[in-house]
Structure 1
Amino acid sequence: MNESTDLYTVDSLLIRYEGKDADRHVIDMMALGESMQGFGRIYSVVGHFVATGSYAKQWQALEVRAFATEPKAKCFQLAVELQSVMQSQLMSGLAGSIITAIVSYIVARNSNKGEEMKHLRELLEKQLDSQTGRNDKTTDRLLLTIEKLAESLRSSLKQAVSPVGQTCRSIDIIPSPESGAQPISIDQATKDAILADDDDAELTGLKSFVVIITEMDRERGTAKVRLLGQDGGKRPNYTALHLRP
């Protein structure tokens, strides 16, 4: 990004840390630094998506940057502005509301809140439809990209929520009034769900596989099998397995 270029404000918001140390208008610097790094990554990546319609995996490729402005002495609060060298055409007029909706979806998906995810996805679909002229193909592509964002930003979200339970009781993300979006609140229960092991975070549906028995040993009661992919292809997902009754 060219530092000499005038920046366009994509969105603004407040990140408020409440409870514990934050009630004294202070916060642990180590926890705050980790949290700001996580939120900075999340909002820069989501802001870039809203501005360009694409997902940038490399930090250098981001067209949107998150800036922290002067802190306010209300609990412990930071104002954040997302700025870019370019003005969003894809989401013109909806930047604030859709950024908040995407971040809300990222939080809900990574804390395994099924009903909230469903509601937010429906909201995102309506917002995207209005911007793409109900182009189903484009809307589906953007929704798929949002899913990728939610998955790839999980580690950043873990960083963002690190102060909860340590130096504050909760984190509230307050969108600008102009966006009309609802605040996001992250408490200890939400943090615990975000930090849960990936294997426990979400159950997947049943999958079918094809198993070919390549060798049998009746004396030992064992068999050597080959586990194929779901499509039944000849390339195995795993090397040979030994089964014992």
Structure 2
Amino acid sequence: MERELARPILVEFDGLDAAQHMIDAQQLGRSLAGIGRLYRSVNHFYFTGKMPTKIRKSEVQILVGPPQEGSISYALWVLIAHGTLPMYPQLLAEFSDICTPEVVKAVIAKRAGQTKIAEKAIDKIAEIAEHNAELSKRFIEYAQLVEAGHQERARADQQDKAKLLGVIERLGQLNASAMTEMVAPVGPSVRQLVHSKGDTAEYVIDEPVADAIRSRGVLEVQEAISMTVRIEAVDKIRRTCKIISGDGTPPITGKITDPVVTEPQNVYTRALDNATPIVVTGKPVLKDGDWHAFYISGARALE
């Protein structure tokens, strides 16, 4: 395409209905609209250097291509909007392929409370910006960082990252509703939404991450862990349970994303009926540092 600013980015819906190459139409519409708003906002800032508080006439346009054969995957194109002829430095366009997916990743991960993932993406952006004046202008000078002398370079590096974090947080605030729309199908119709599928910036939004994005409070999604628990209750319809870890903590709400929970005599209902402990694997979600929920992706009997 002659107006193309970057190579297409692949987003993929996977699991549940999508495993049958279908998806809830209403939720898909909401999700694609949210994805379009998020990517337009990030790319508007990237190419213009202006924070997109109210985009009345964006200089960039996001188009979505047809689903890939045999899946629910869409290609997103970032194009120069019709009727505008902005002059972008060539290096800025070239670096957009690796930079803007990392910005999107950082914005979503920060909103979902995935601090480590957000920090790694921010480090990647800072590394790229350090060697390119145009990127530095977008991300560092925007945050009014004054260039430090050589002796203060180590301190300046930390300042750069702090200022860059401020940019990411602001983009997250401006796109909070877009990200809520984006994750509409995750849980009800699909198991996960993958951004930049197959790329180094690939980012998976599963149910705990989607719920953190939907939450009005601030939740923190941690890395997956395994622990031995006792099952106190199971609701197969809502796919929830109550678990006790045995370390003296109160019962924890478990949300079971493992599809076997709907099957007769599954590992969860057997553990409940027999009052035997099991090993569960999943992602803890914290609120104000305390357990909020545990998203269980798998379980096995204790050996």
TM > 0.5 fold call: yes
Choose the corresponding residue for 1:184, options 203, 222, 226.
203
- Mark the CA change 1:174 to 1:117 in structure 2 (over 3 Å): closer, same or farther: closer
In the alignment, structure 1 residue 171 sits paired with structure 2 residue 193: yes
Query: Residues 96 and 181 of structure 1 are in contact (CA less than 8 Å); yes or no, is this contact kept in structure 2?
Result: no
Counterpart code for 1:172: V
Counterpart code for 1:72: Q
* Equivalent in the alignment of 2:277: none
Stretches (4+) displaced over 3 A? 85-88, 133-137, 139-142, 199-204
Distance apart, 1:53 and its partner CA? 1.6
Distance apart, 1:132 and its partner CA? 2.0
TM-score, normalising length: structure 1: 0.71
Counterpart code for 2:201: Q
* Equivalent in the alignment of 1:68: 64
- Taking only aligned residues, the RMSD between alpha carbons, in angstroms, comes to 2.6
Query: Residues 11 and 83 of structure 1 are in contact (CA less than 8 Å); yes or no, is this contact kept in structure 2?
Result: no
CA distance in 1, matches of 2:142, 2:288: 26
Distance apart, 1:75 and its partner CA? 2.4
Query: Residues 25 and 73 of structure 1 are in contact (CA less than 8 Å); yes or no, is this contact kept in structure 2?
Result: no
CA distance in 2, matches of 1:184, 1:74: 21
- Mark the CA change 1:169 to 1:39 in structure 2 (over 3 Å): closer, same or farther: same
Distance apart, 1:92 and its partner CA? 3.3
Choose the corresponding residue for 2:77, options 77, 81, 84.
81
- Mark the CA change 1:92 to 1:25 in structure 2 (over 3 Å): closer, same or farther: same
* Equivalent in the alignment of 2:141: 138
Q: Deviations over 1:139-175 (max 9, x none)?
A: 7447243331122111111110110011111011126
* Equivalent in the alignment of 1:42: 38
Q: Which moved more, 1:124-133 or 1:31-40?
A: 124-133
Unmatched runs of 5 consecutive residues or more in structure 1: 1-5, 205-245
* Equivalent in the alignment of 2:112: 111
CA distance in 2, matches of 1:19, 1:8: 31
Q: Deviations over 1:104-132 (max 9, x none)?
A: 00111001112222222222211222222
- Mark the CA change 1:200 to 1:16 in structure 2 (over 3 Å): closer, same or farther: closer
- Mark the CA change 1:199 to 1:172 in structure 2 (over 3 Å): closer, same or farther: closer
Unmatched runs of 5 consecutive residues or more in structure 2: 145-162, 221-286, 290-303
- Mark the CA change 1:66 to 1:100 in structure 2 (over 3 Å): closer, same or farther: same
Q: Deviations over 1:34-65 (max 9, x none)?
A: 00110000001111111112222223231111
Query: Residues 132 and 138 of structure 1 are in contact (CA less than 8 Å); yes or no, is this contact kept in structure 2?
Result: no
TM-score, normalising length: structure 2: 0.58
CA distance in 2, matches of 1:137, 1:59: 22
